[in-house]
Chain A
Amino acid sequence: MKITLIIATIGTIASLLSLQVAANSLFSLENLERERAALLSAQLDSSLDLSQRQQKVQGIYRRLVDIERMVLRDDRVTSSSSQLAKNAFDKYELTFLVHSSAEKSLPPLSHWMSELDLTTDTILSAKTGHR
């Protein structure tokens, strides 16, 4: 009788533990990707003036700090070998833009551009034309 109760308890605990896996495991990473894209869009949006851009970027920056930390602490992200998760961790510099830019003491946009080799020289030497 006692053993049956113990087994039933273990079963309940196992089902509680498995609840975590049931949710979309890449949810936080997808949010990060969206938020980063929003940051870059805001930085490159020529329709915004300086103060508008600064205000918008600040809000996104703050959310990105949180969400980058959430992704790095979220075990669900790495519970399956999805291509999205693999790419994210293979390219730490680009994925975790806020924290990796802090390592180099650069603003996130400058860091992003340097990672993609978008320097003043390469931009000025670029020519328009068909690919």
Chain B
Amino acid sequence: MKNRIIMSSFILVLNLGCTHFVLASEGRNWDPVASDKLIKLPANIIEKRIQQDFEASPMALHIVELEQQMQDKLSQLKSLRELMTDSEGDNLINQRFELVQQKSKYLDLMQEAQGLRQNALAKKQDLYETVLGKLRNKNGRVSQGEVFQLKQKQAEARQRMQKVLAQVDNSLMHTGLDQRSPYADEFALNLAKVEDLKNAISKHKANASPTLGDEEVTSEEYVRQLLMQASTEQSLLDQEALMFSYMAKLVALDAQSLEYEISYGDESTELTQRNRTKPAEVADLFL
């Protein structure tokens, strides 16, 4: 009976060793969408919004649950290992069997959490790529649009006008029009206030450009950096998956060795050579 259980746990562990990650089960999913509303947010808020959305999702809540279960399982494993140091005989075999089973369950939980993390990261990457694509489209549309070109021309014309403002005002004085027009007076009065308001807007934290370190960057650069971070996370998760597969392999080997021990005895037990009567030993009897 015990052999069967060990075999089944052995097969289970071998399956784990394949490191084939299943997708999150139904109802524990996270389906973020790169909506137009999201694109309009400042880049650093886009990141926070996505993280907030993920943390509220059933997928993230399930990962938290799994983490808790894994912590519990880890403390069980630790106490089992401590118990094993003082055990021997059948008791030790039972505890070793229990340890393999608990390790297998721990790996089950780890596999599920790892799968969910991979899935969440893939979705985050897709989302950032969509956001980057939309940002590029938006900037491209704006810079190629007729309105944008017209605004550029107006800005150039304004700069050109600025250079001759004083000259034109002087020419008005020369023609006897020494009083400024109501428009010019009001405009000059408002201009200082407008500059103050513009300064206040540019200094407002809600209007601040995203920063990387101390450097201000564009939204596009910021999202590109987020994609780089996601790649780094992906690479580390891949490495963790490799560690996880090695752990599964070790549990499989533990289960296999336990099975061999139960079936064929302790490996330290030497096979006793069956007593064999050697002719030399009995030869004297015939003398």
A and B bound? Answer: yes
**Which A positions have Cβ atoms within 8 angstroms of B?**
58, 61-63, 65-66, 68-70, 72-73, 75, 77-81, 85-86, 89-90, 92, 96, 98-100, 102-103
The reply to whether A79 and B147 contact each other, CB–CB distance below 8 Å, is yes
B158 touches which one: A61, A62, A66, A72 (CB < 8 A)? Answer: A72
Task: Answer whether residue B236 sits at the interface, using C-beta atoms and an 8 A cutoff.
Answer: no
A and B contact pairs by CB, cutoff 8 A, 28 listed: A58-B175, A61-B175, A61-B177, A62-B177, A66-B181, A66-B183, A69-B183, A69-B187, A72-B154, A72-B158, A72-B161, A75-B154, A78-B150, A79-B147, A80-B147, A81-B145, A81-B150, A86-B150, A89-B150, A89-B153, A90-B153, A92-B157, A92-B160, A96-B157, A96-B161, A98-B168, A99-B160, A99-B161
What is the CB-to-nearest-CB distance from B252 to chain A, in angstroms, rounded to a whole number? 53
Asked whether A77 and B154 contact (CB < 8 A) given A58-B177, A65-B172, the answer is yes
The reply to whether B157 and A72 contact each other, CB–CB distance below 8 Å, is yes
User: Considering the chains assembled together, what is the distance between the CA atoms of A62 and B153 in angstroms?
Assistant: 24
User: Considering the chains assembled together, what is the distance between the CA atoms of A62 and B172 in angstroms?
Assistant: 7
User: Considering the chains assembled together, what is the distance between the CA atoms of A70 and B168 in angstroms?
Assistant: 15
User: Considering the chains assembled together, what is the distance between the CA atoms of A115 and B129 in angstroms?
Assistant: 52
User: Considering the chains assembled together, what is the distance between the CA atoms of A79 and B150 in angstroms?
Assistant: 8
User: Considering the chains assembled together, what is the distance between the CA atoms of A77 and B151 in angstroms?
Assistant: 9
Q: How many A-B residue pairs have CB under 8 A?
A: 66
User: Considering the chains assembled together, what is the distance between the CA atoms of A73 and B153 in angstroms?
Assistant: 12
The reply to whether B158 and A73 contact each other, CB–CB distance below 8 Å, is yes
Q: Could you say which residues of chain B place their CB within 8 Å of the CB of A90? A: 153
Chain B 126-168: CB-based contact to A (< 8 A → 1; otherwise 0): 0000000000000000000111001101100110110110011
User: Considering the chains assembled together, what is the distance between the CA atoms of A60 and B158 in angstroms?
Assistant: 21
Task: Answer whether residue B51 sits at the interface, using C-beta atoms and an 8 A cutoff.
Answer: no
The chain B residue sitting closest to A86, CB to CB, is B150
Q: Could you say which residues of chain B place their CB within 8 Å of the CB of A69? A: 161, 183, 187
The chain B residue sitting closest to A70, CB to CB, is B183
What is the CB-to-nearest-CB distance from B205 to chain A, in angstroms, rounded to a whole number? 16
The chain A residue sitting closest to B169, CB to CB, is A65
The reply to whether B176 and A58 contact each other, CB–CB distance below 8 Å, is yes
Task: Answer whether residue B229 sits at the interface, using C-beta atoms and an 8 A cutoff.
Answer: no
The reply to whether A102 and B171 contact each other, CB–CB distance below 8 Å, is yes
What is the CB-to-nearest-CB distance from B62 to chain A, in angstroms, rounded to a whole number? 27
What is the CB-to-nearest-CB distance from B159 to chain A, in angstroms, rounded to a whole number? 9
The chain B residue sitting closest to A67, CB to CB, is B183
